[in-house]
Structure 1
Amino acid sequence: MGSHTITSRTPGVFYHRPSPDAEPYVTQGASVSEGDTVGLVEVMKTFHEVKADAAGTVSKILVENEDEVTIGQDLVELET
């Protein structure tokens, strides 16, 4: 097994869920497929989906909900 890290493609505010009362997109231990949404980054009131670019199991979520993130920042670690 290897690991893969999903990174932010844009600076902004990271969100774990689509709305405050919704379930998170992913949790630790969840399986994801390539293309699955793992979070959102808000930039100037526009939300951009963060997609898994590999399949695997979520081993760590590296940022908190509503954290400011930068381009290239590690967001989610997968075991592949």
Structure 2
Amino acid sequence: APAEKPASKGTPVKAPIVGTFYASSSPDAPPYVKVGDTVTAGQVLCIIEAMKLMNEIEAEQGGIIREILVKNAEPVEYGQTLFIIE
């Protein structure tokens, strides 16, 4: 199987912009979501910082977070899968 294919079935949440991934609102805040969390549509999953703007990335659908495929403060590319929601 190709390495970039996520292990879980489910819906990928992809980065809508290029930037830096942040799992929480500040370094000492808990992450917005963890693997196994149930989320609802419109819930904030993470922040992507681009050009000093903090862009809240929201779930497009409800479900359970099956995978988080990036680490805090990692750079992300446009279209990169961030989460798998099932």
Give structure 1 regions of 4+ aligned residues with deviation exceeding 3 angstroms: none
2:35 corresponds to: 28
More strand by share: 1
TM-score normalized with structure 1 length: 0.94
- Secondary structure of 1:63's match? coil
2:21 corresponds to: 14
Residue 17 of structure 1 aligns to which amino acid in structure 2?
A: S
Percent sequence identity is 36
1:3 and 2:10 correspond: yes
1:68 corresponds to: 75
Q: Which ranges of structure 2 fall in alignment gaps of 5 or more residues?
A: 1-8
TM-score normalized with structure 2 length: 0.88
Residue 59 of structure 1 aligns to which amino acid in structure 2?
A: R
Q: Which ranges of structure 1 fall in alignment gaps of 5 or more residues?
A: none
Q: CA shift at 1:69, angstroms? A: 0.5
Distance 1:54 1:71 in 2: 20
Q: CA shift at 1:35, angstroms? A: 0.6
Q: Please provide the CA RMSD for this pair.
A: 0.8
